[in-house]
Structure 1
């Protein structure tokens, strides 16, 4: 882990239709993310927030089945440029969302610096939809597919190249809500997935041991994309698409602690914090605590 960290806020709420997630970066800052990470011993550079242009809330484009395609793509292009610059300057990018569509920009900025980037997708959802398979047309359900080079060219070519990641370099953890098209894609491409069945049956320790070993042997860097709806809504209520029966607060800390010990994480993002749907900023506070564990914070 690099000693200098750049925090990048992305107030994106155009990848879905529930308002409020654009305030996620502010909520996470209010929950003390800078003070928490500085307390571990890192030097923090706050890059501020990526400017997200306004977009008229529209129904699905009948030709693409995608909402706010242009505005989402433009915001992600800006994010990709910032992440690219941060890595060039030798700092660890820590991206604060915003809805999960921002992962397209993060991965576009990160992947060009690695020959075999790995991705841990910590999420209740696979985010492997395309315009053809999505029931809603919400782009926040498509960033992993787009990063694989699957979907609309405007999304797959963010950053000027495609793909950003290979299917065999992905591990999804905590899945419990997958659409039909996503299930087919997972089987077709051989993507490694630990659903909540595996988390329950094997335990988080075994899941993380296997995931870390799997990625260590095939990648030269690993990006963590953590959607707060990967956690159970009891622990993280302030998310737009909660799914009951999720990963617990303590299991999530264990996962982050094991990733810290492994030393494989080279970039990270925490997304889908929606303070309007939250309880006294509980979800942002959880996000900050998990960031602390990921970055090596210890009780003793």
Structure 2
């Protein structure tokens, strides 16, 4: 990976329970990631400790989440200004760290697209979510659906136009009623490439997503939620779902995206080192990043 990247940690756990995601930046560094990048900027101040669910919005830890988003946006902006020749690699934490990423990119760059590689759509309404965690709804918030205190983080909203977002690797079969209703909320103009399509032709899925983004003519952010992987491959996640791709299939999808000339930055999230006692899975993720970046 070398000098093309700077590393920024986002120890962000939107549940406020300390269940494990916030320890991922340290675990991935210890598994060898820090040695593979040109610059390591340490961690942004994104620790969330509140478990309180806001009555009006239904969002858990709302004030802490807003503060964390601003902190990550500030740290990312500083990193990009200080290292303009490098691209950011943000390591979480859970996937609602994207609220901080796009709070920065929307204000600094205007229109930016998103490849969201995730086992879930993350398009819940907060009140319909069992937990109110922002990891259940960050794609909805990014595309302008949700409480104004979150959708307005980028000042001019939405932070990501739905037509500039792609959802890749999500499950579409065997869903419970709540998950089916969540999937039905995803806007029709958002590109979707589901898990069966990824497994059936991973190279083709990656090329399709890359070609789609090339036509947009906007910078692209790539986010990988590791629960996109089948739990037989990656069990160290909070919300595992079966019928996902394996590591080689995921690498095949990611390679055309990481090679795209309009790639702005990358984030990876939802790894639980507390469920990886021997560090084997952390090393597997570092290998995947080394291979694809």
Q: Please say whether Structure 1 and Structure 2 have the same fold, judged by a TM-score greater than 0.5.
A: yes
> What runs of 5+ residues in structure 1 fail to find an aligned partner?
38-43, 296-300
Alignment of 1:117-266 (within 5 A): 117-176=112-171, 179-186=179-186, 188-201=187-200, 203-266=201-264
Give the alignment's TM-score, normalised by structure 2: 0.89
Q: Once structures 1 and 2 are overlaid, which stretch shifts more, 280-289 or 24-33?
A: 280-289
Q: CA deviation at 1:85?
A: 2.2
* TM-aligned CA distance change 1:168 to 1:16, over 3 Å: farther
- Deviations 1:205-261 (CA, angstroms, capped at 9, x unpaired): 111111111110113211001001011112212111111111111111222322233
Q: CA deviation at 1:119?
A: 0.8
Q: Contact 1:114 / 1:220 at 8 angstroms: preserved in 2? A: no
Q: CA deviation at 1:63?
A: 2.5
Per the alignment, residue 59 of structure 2 pairs with 66
Q: Contact 2:171 / 2:194 at 8 angstroms: preserved in 1? A: yes
User: How many angstroms apart in 2 are the aligned matches of 1:104 and 1:15?
Assistant: 15
User: How many angstroms apart in 2 are the aligned matches of 1:62 and 1:110?
Assistant: 30
SS at match of 2:89: strand
SS at match of 1:7: strand
SS at match of 1:262: coil
User: How many angstroms apart in 1 are the aligned matches of 2:291 and 2:108?
Assistant: 25
Q: CA deviation at 1:165?
A: 1.0
User: How many angstroms apart in 2 are the aligned matches of 1:280 and 1:217?
Assistant: 43
Q: Contact 1:2 / 1:92 at 8 angstroms: preserved in 2? A: no
User: How many angstroms apart in 1 are the aligned matches of 2:128 and 2:193?
Assistant: 22
Q: Contact 1:232 / 1:247 at 8 angstroms: preserved in 2? A: yes
Give the alignment's TM-score, normalised by structure 1: 0.87
* TM-aligned CA distance change 1:216 to 1:3, over 3 Å: farther
Q: CA deviation at 1:159?
A: 4.0
* TM-aligned CA distance change 1:57 to 1:15, over 3 Å: closer
Q: Is the counterpart of residue 36 in structure 1 residue 36 in structure 2?
A: yes
Q: Once structures 1 and 2 are overlaid, which stretch shifts more, 3-12 or 73-82?
A: 3-12
Q: CA deviation at 1:148?
A: 1.0
- Deviations 1:2-29 (CA, angstroms, capped at 9, x unpaired): 9542211111113475711110101110
| Count of aligned positions | 286
Q: CA deviation at 1:135?
A: 3.2
Q: Contact 1:86 / 1:92 at 8 angstroms: preserved in 2? A: no
* TM-aligned CA distance change 1:227 to 1:291, over 3 Å: same
- RMSD (CA atoms): 2.2
User: How many angstroms apart in 1 are the aligned matches of 2:196 and 2:253?
Assistant: 16
Q: Is the counterpart of residue 23 in structure 1 residue 23 in structure 2?
A: yes
- Deviations 1:151-208 (CA, angstroms, capped at 9, x unpaired): 011211224332111111111111016724432322x44211111122234x011111
> What runs of 5+ residues in structure 2 fail to find an aligned partner?
none
Q: Contact 2:59 / 2:126 at 8 angstroms: preserved in 1? A: yes
Per the alignment, residue 46 of structure 1 pairs with 40
